[in-house]
Amino acid sequence: MKILSYLSSTLLIGVLVLVTSCNPSQQNGGALSNNIAERVYVAPGEHDEFYAFISGGFSGQLSVYGLPSGRLFKVIPVFSQDPEKAYGYNEETKPMLNTSFGPVPWDDAHHPDLSQTNGEIDGRWCFINGNNTPRIARVNLSTFETDEIIELPNSAGNHSSSFVTENTEYVVAGTRFSIPVPQEDVSISEYKGKFKGAISFIKVDETTGRMDLDFQVMMPGFNYDLAHPGRGKSHGWMFFTTYNTEEANTLLEVNASQNDKDFIAAINWKKAQELIEQGAFETMPTSYAHNVYDEETQMATTTMKKEVRVIDPTQHPGLVYLLPTPKSPHGCDVDPTGEYIIGSGKLSASLTAHSFTKMLDAIENEKFDGDAYGIPILNYDDIVGGVVQQAGLGPLHTEFDGKGNGYTTFFISSEVVKWKLGTWEVLDRQPTYYSVGHLMIPGGNSRKPFGKYAVAMNKITKDRYLPTGPELTQSAQLYDITGDKMELLLDFPTIGEPHYAAGCPADLIKPRQKKIYKLEENHHPHAVKNEKDTRVERDGKEVHIYMTTIRSHFAPDNIEGVKVGDKVYFHVTNLEQDYDVPHGISMIGANTSELLIMPGQTETFIWEPKQIGVWPFYCTDFCSALHQEMQGYVRVSAK
Ligand code: CUK
Ligand code: CUA
């Protein structure tokens, strides 16, 4: 959104001055009423009705909140190392962050999307993209841990991701930047024609969730911004917003906005599957990492993949069509019936809804308006299903309530606008504080939205919270959308910049949420399941400590025979089989973070002692009345 805020900064400042000059507590005076307080209040010991999985933006993580309370439950580490959970520090999870560029322990996470069955959220997995080093992660919603990360070749700035088809057949990822494919040392001015935009279709195993890059469609050199899978009648299609259809190598305003209309690219992925079956693809050598955490061995491993199947849409009629859409569309959203594809031209005031039925008619009658890129371009007037006129300034994203209404965010005019599908009339508008990006209605991008709340995720906080230095917290706002008018209920802080979120009723996740690892199913190669098997083994310069924890001691707790210059592995198994009783361990001078070991699990960290002496370690997680007694020593001798 940086480009947008730059382009529109003058307008934006104007709007902000307008908005901030009013007293916010007067504007939403309702926030002071008891009635509203009651509607977000979840009494001590009670549970929230919804889970919200909110993108951590440039923190690289995914945070888990409850709605309507806005309480933060957990930050799930995905693309970034996290000392709180030892993720990316312990030997078990380090491989999760491997890429073809080496370990990349950070990313810019944007769009979480939940797995679906028959177009309805099923609460099994949450997928999320890393933009910077193109990756897609899968978070397991029975453990709330990242189970898998797949890198995407031929991509750069993996923004148009991750979007899940209605039976989780695919998680789909579009490149933001077009780049030379394959990469080569070439003048940037040769962009046009040479640079390509890869759209990746990653197959998801329906039982295990395991991902596998099935194929890529190699599109023209546009920027691919956002996407949405078709559903219901449009199931089998994917829709992508594009900008820079001029294929300019610099996006200074004059270049990027030459075209009055850019495109929504419609890709028929069922057709692509047929082409793959018929062998109508090219196998391209490449290199990308696929990192999988195995729940049995509790270890992550990296496989470097060497090739990818690529389809050239200019050679296969019927695979891709371009739908003209006004003014640099950003969000691309499909209504719950699958009929309307909403394009939000971020430099316009209106929303365009293309009709899927009209699109099919135009295709059938071959009513094309040329094929400047080797791909048929449809005629805007043939396919437009409706326009929400003059709805606001700078439309970005739309979600649906399942009752025939769309809710669109407007960045520049800083508001959420409710409008009606079919009649295209604006029904309500409510301000956001300030400059909203995405919004999320639980299930609001599926066939079955749970249209009770909308969460707006704002780019600018200004005066909403106690100041915390030059930057204020990022912020979300909760609206009640059950009535004719939306009602602002709550502000709550978020982590990083929340680009998008996915939500669902808590009941969908409950059956799995109390999972613990059974000790007898722990097949970690360094697990010790009984205190009498604990031991210290030397192997050359390596020392392996096979240790257990149980309230409230370590075994062994006095370790001798370690020398300066050794590499000491602590393999620690938590023997507890009780829910919510992890133990931690940290070692003085160790720079690898602590471990936090869940019941029944084994984790490993490495300590390289630099000085002789007797050095303590202790449990970092307050686990019992004798937690403070949970400690031990390692004696280190000269080499
Ligand atoms: S983008 Cu952030 S406001 Cu990455 Cu989904 Cu539109
Ligand atoms: Cu174990 Cu504290």
Q: Tokens 């009629």 map to which residue?
A: 317
What spacing in Å lies between the alpha carbon of 625 and ligand 2's midpoint?
A: 9
The pLDDT of 451-465, averaged and rounded, is 95
- Domain 519-637 sits in CATH at 2.60.40.420
What spacing in Å lies between the alpha carbon of 160 and ligand 1's midpoint?
A: 9
What spacing in Å lies between the alpha carbon of 405 and ligand 2's midpoint?
A: 51
3-state secondary structure (DSSP) of residue 529: coil
User: Which CATH class, in words, describes the domain spanning 1-43+390-515?
Assistant: mainly beta
What spacing in Å lies between the alpha carbon of 218 and ligand 1's midpoint?
A: 23
Residue nearest (by alpha carbon) to ligand 2 atom 1: 583
For 290-327, the pLDDT digits (tens) are 999 998 899 999 999 999 999 999 999 999 999 999 98
For 13-53, the pLDDT digits (tens) are 344 434 443 444 444 444 456 689 999 999 999 999 999 99
Establish how many alpha carbons lie within 13 A of residue 524's alpha carbon, considering only the half-sphere containing its beta carbon.
Answer: 27
How many other β-carbons are positioned within 10 Å of the β-carbon of residue 324? 23
Residue 48, H or E segment: none
Burial of 52 (0-12, 13-18, 19+ CB in 10 A): buried
What spacing in Å lies between the alpha carbon of 576 and ligand 2's midpoint?
A: 11
Q: Quick one: tokens of 114?
A: 């939940």
For 551-579, the pLDDT digits (tens) are 999 999 999 999 999 999 999 999 999 99
Between CA 612 and CA 614 the distance in angstroms is 7
This model of the complex carries an ipTM of 0.95
The pLDDT of 396-414, averaged and rounded, is 97
Ligand 2 proximity of 217 Cβ (cutoff 6 Å): no
Atom of ligand 1 nearest to the CA of 457: 3
Q: What's the pLDDT score for residue 510?
A: 74
Atom of ligand 2 nearest to the CA of 618: 2
Atom of ligand 1 nearest to the CA of 159: 4
Model confidence at 252, pLDDT cuts 50, 70, 90, reads confident
CA-based angle 135:141:145, to the nearest 5? 55
Residues with CB under 6 A from ligand 1: 1, 110-111, 159, 226, 330, 396-397, 437-438, 499-500
* 351: nearest Cα among 384, 407, 389: 389
Residue nearest (by alpha carbon) to ligand 1 atom 3: 437
- Domain regions of the chain by residue span: 1-43+390-515, 519-637
For 572-609, the pLDDT digits (tens) are 999 999 999 999 999 999 888 889 999 999 999 999 99
- In SS3 terms, 205-240 reads as CCCCCCEEEEEEEEECCCEEEEEEECCHHHCCEEEE
pLDDT at 632 over 90: yes
**Contact partners, residue 532, CB within 8 Å, separation at least 6:** none
Substitution site in 1, 243, 399 for ligand 1 pocket (most atoms within 8 Å of beta carbon): 1
What spacing in Å lies between the alpha carbon of 294 and ligand 2's midpoint?
A: 26
**Contact partners, residue 516, CB within 8 Å, separation at least 6:** 577, 578, 579, 598, 599, 600
The pLDDT of 531-555, averaged and rounded, is 97
Handedness of CA 209, 213, 217, 220 (dihedral sign): positive
Q: What's the pLDDT score for residue 295?
A: 87
What spacing in Å lies between the alpha carbon of 219 and ligand 1's midpoint?
A: 22
